């Protein structure tokens, strides 16, 4: 996490790449959890907001994606985060995130797992659509296993 001039935190390019690698199944969830669990409670909240309001919102999740993501995430379906999450439709993402962030910080790891699974499902669908059209220039839809590309993305602040 980095701080901006207003004292707010945001994801670094390396963190955004890791998130997308995990969502795409290219990196282990444990690597993302290791990073996340070393953040302060405030940084975790900022990280979850960043994930929800940028890559997750841009992936345009659909109502059925939430249950699928819950099943894929490995989160206990009886947890508070999971019970709230499966009721979301994707249309009120900002309100949904605010509801999740009112949970105990002990639930934040579950929220991260749910968000990552949802990103993998919703953005995976968009990636397939872009590939079928042959017109995709999003950095996160490129080969995130390519070490040279990763270096370039980090150096250029995620610009191709």
Question: What is the model's pLDDT at position 55?
Answer: 83
pLDDT in tens, 57-90: 888 888 888 899 999 999 999 999 999 888 887 6
Question: What is the model's pLDDT at position 28?
Answer: 93
Residue spans of the domains in the chain: they are 2-155
Q: Are strands 9-10 and 2-3 parallel, antiparallel or unpaired?
A: antiparallel
How many whole angstroms separate alpha carbon 77 and alpha carbon 120? 19
What DSSP string runs through 65-80? HHHHHHHHH---TTSH
Which of 154, 44, 18 has its CA nearest to residue 110? 44
Question: What is the model's pLDDT at position 2?
Answer: 65
Question: Which ranges of the chain have pLDDT less than 50?
Answer: none
Question: What is the model's pLDDT at position 107?
Answer: 95
- Other C-beta atoms closer than 10 Å to the C-beta of 116 total 25
What DSSP string runs through the chain? -EE-TTS-EE--HHHHHHHHHHHTTSS-HHHHHHHHHTS-HHHHHHHHHHHIIIIIHHT---HHHHHHHHHHH---TTSHHHHHHTT--STTHHHHHHHHTTS-GGGHHHHHHHHHHHHHHHHHHHHHHHHHHT----GGGS-TT-HHHHHHHHHTTT--
Question: What is the model's pLDDT at position 39?
Answer: 93
Which of 88, 82, 80, 84 has its CA nearest to residue 63? 88
How many whole angstroms separate alpha carbon 88 and alpha carbon 77? 14
């Amino acid at each position: 996490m980095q701080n901006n001039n207003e004292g707010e935190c945001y994801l670094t390019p390396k963190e955004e790449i890791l998130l997308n690698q995990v969502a795409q199944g290219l990196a282990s969830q444990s690597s993302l959890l290791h990073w996340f669990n070393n953040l302060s409670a405030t940084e975790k909240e900022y990280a979850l907001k960043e994930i929800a309001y940028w890559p997750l919102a841009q992936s345009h999740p659909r109502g059925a994606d939430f249950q699928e993501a819950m099943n894929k995430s490995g989160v206990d379906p009886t947890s508070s985060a999971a019970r709230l999450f499966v009721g979301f439709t994707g249309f009120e993402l900002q309100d949904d995130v605010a509801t999740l962030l009112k949970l105990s910080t002990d639930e934040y790891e579950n929220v991260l797992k749910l968000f990552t699974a949802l990103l993998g499902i919703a953005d995976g669908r968009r990636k397939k659509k872009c590939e079928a059209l042959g017109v995709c220039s999003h950095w996160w839809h490129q080969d995130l296993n390519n070490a040279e590309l990763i270096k370039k993305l980090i150096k250029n602040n995620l610009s191709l």
